[in-house]
Amino acid sequence: MAKFKRINNMMRYINNRQQFTLSELMAEFDISRSTAIRDIREIEDLGVPLVSEPGRDGGYFVMHNNLLPAVQFTNDEIKAIFISFMATVNQQLPFLNNRQTISEKLLGIVSETQQDELITLKKILQFENTNPNNPDLIDLSDMPHPKLNELISLLLQSQFVQIQIANHNHDFFVQHIFNAGGQWFVEAIDLHDEKQTNFPINAIQNMSLGQNPSRFNHQNIDKLIATITPKDNLTFTLDSVAIQRFKDTHQHSGRLAFLDPFQLSAQFSTVIDINNNSDLDYFADWMFFLGSGITNISMPHELSERIQTKALAWM
């Protein structure tokens, strides 16, 4: 990274934090201690008032009321933001009802030349699932469930929530919200049963902030998750073709780790319920879809038998 670009990025990094250390700068920008010190001195010379705190836990912070000026976007960054909004037209993402107003505000803060470029981009770029006759059309089926925004707003306050499902209230610690098969799901710990569960957003009747039981502080939650999380029982590697197919129909519950810098090979790991016939059928069909590009497969014998049965039936 060029020095001027690193200094600019470092100034933004510093401005977004109340406090930072040399070690954090070294790790974030992959630089030596001496380079980090020289960069800090140069940033101070540019007029950023940094205050240092000596000692083992010391570091630096920006003097109060002396922050950097408002963020300025480059021409390419403006295009990237605008294209991001365009690419989300047919995605079930939260808060997208504000997309049109955000786009208009973005157009309002850029130059006339940039406005012309953005309008041209909107005309010439089309993304997957876009209606060519009406690119701005958002089908009702592509809009997020109204409970999604409400749940996210609660989770920004606390991950401990009370949710009513089938007329029963449950106390949950919500781990993740994920989209699978065009539908949003919640992955959470049921604090009563101390079990991990998934349920669709559209199953939620009511929700509110929950109580954080004394036995369930965040440290204890981490221990509970480690205890109840089952071990992976399905792993395999993927070549570039299988990776592309994986992206088309990926598994939210698994982990894909790339094995090379160019992302031409990867390893997938997950856990499947060997007592759930629908899970076994689904994964058997999915692995057939990934094709011959998956190798080094380790799987439960129940899944292996299901794959063999399906293979014989298709012959």
Could you tell me where the beta strands, DSSP code E, fall in 146-292?
160-165, 168-180, 183-190, 195-200, 204-209, 234-238, 255-258, 266-270
Name the pLDDT band for 12 (thresholds 50, 70, 90): confident
Tokens linked to 149: 């925004």
Q: Using an 8 Å Cβ cutoff, are 289 and 249 in contact?
A: yes
Greatest mean pLDDT among 44-58, 99-113, 174-188, 266-280: 266-280
Q: Which CATH number fits domain 3-62: 1.10.468.10, 2.40.40.20, 1.10.10.10, 3.40.50.450?
A: 1.10.10.10
Q: Is the pLDDT of residue 138 over 50?
A: no
Q: Let me know the angle formed at the C-alpha of 54 by 53 and 57, rounded to the nearest 5 degrees.
A: 85
Q: Is the pLDDT of residue 235 over 60?
A: yes
> Quick one: what percent of the chain has pLDDT higher than 90?
28
Average pLDDT over residues 235-241: 95
Q: Is the pLDDT of residue 67 over 60?
A: no
Name the pLDDT band for 186 (thresholds 50, 70, 90): very high
In CATH, the number for domain 146-228 is: 2.30.30
Q: What is the largest CA-CA distance in the chain?
A: 74
* Residue-averaged pLDDT of the chain: 81
The answer to whether the predicted template modeling score (pTM) of the entire model surpasses 0.85 is no
